[in-house]
Amino acid sequence: DAKTTQPPSMDCAEGRAANLPCNHSTISGNEYVYWYRQIHSQGPQYIIHGLKNNETNEMASLIITEDRKSSTLILPHATLRDTAVYYCIAVTSGTYKYIFGTGTRLKVLA
Amino acid sequence: EPEVTQTPSHQVTQMGQEVILRCVPISNHLYFYWYRQILGQKVEFLVSFYNNEISEKSEIFDDQFSVERPDGSNFTLKIRSTKLEDSAMYFCASSDRGRTAEAFFGQGTRLTVV
């Protein structure tokens, strides 16, 4: 599985969009980009995933660059409840072995 | 909304004792997983399970660990002889390889080995 690189921490003002970057320059054609988050020590929570097209759901949007070497998770209107560690994971199609990195600790400020 | 449930939420055990962590995956899911997170460290994959057998396991998942689906609803992780370094949060997850293939995680069992 490709290694992903994320900034260790970010702050975002409440109500503003949070843009969380992820670099996955060695990603292969059959690897999906998954985003999860972990609030305190709770179980990781699925947010969104994509292969090459941009994706949107009720929680977030995922923008994947055309060369697939990086992506951005966008939380359109961050709330205090979005304070968490966000993980970007490259997952090979056909396997669900997630290799979690250290993620980005997002702090939403009032 | 369906969810993965884990019991107990916290388990304290003496070193050398056997412990069984229990999970009830989402009912129509076919793939089951265990992960663990030592305090302050990354979430680590332990094992995946499908069709009543292990499909993949990490090097952490040695002979001290075993998994079982004893009936149609439960999925268990057994640690035969616990060590101090087994103290961690253990997360169960399940997924359905349908259109939405994400894994859903439970809230975890905090295992403390004393």
* Interface test with chain B among A33, A42, A98, by most B beta carbons within 10 Å: A98
A86 touches chain B (CB under 8 A): no
Coil vs helix vs strand at B60: coil
Residue ranges for chain A with pLDDT beneath 50: none
User: A46 and B45: CB-CB below 8 Å?
Assistant: no
State residue A1's pLDDT score: 64
Q: Closest Cα of chain A to B63: distance in Å? A: 20
Confidence (pLDDT) at B73? 87
Q: What distance in Å separates the CA atoms of residue A44 and residue A36, rounded to the nearest whole number?
A: 6
Q: Can you tell me the distance from the alpha carbon of B94 to that of B75, in angstroms, rounded to the nearest whole number? A: 10
pLDDT digit string, tens, across residues A52-73:
999 999 999 999 999 999 999 9
Contacts of B108 in chain A (CB under 8 A): 41-43
A102 lies within 8 A of chain B by CB: yes
As a whole number, the mean pLDDT across chain B is 93
Instruction: Mark which residues 51-110 of B lie under 8 Å from A by CB.
Output: 56, 58, 89, 91, 93, 95, 101-108, 110
DSSP characters over chain A = ----B--SEEEEETTSPEEEEEE-TT--TTEEEEEEEE-TTSPPEEEEEESSS-EE-SS-EEEE-TTSSEEEEEETT--GGG-EEEEEEEEETT---------EEEEEE-
Whether pLDDT at B100 is above 60: no
8 A C-beta contact, residue B40 and residue B28: no
At residue B70 the predicted structure's pLDDT band, cuts being 50, 70 and 90, is confident
Compute the nearest-CA separation of B36 from chain A (Å).
10
**Rounded to whole angstroms, how far apart are CA atoms B82 and B64?**
8
Chain-chain contact of B91 with A44 (C-beta, under 8 angstroms)? yes
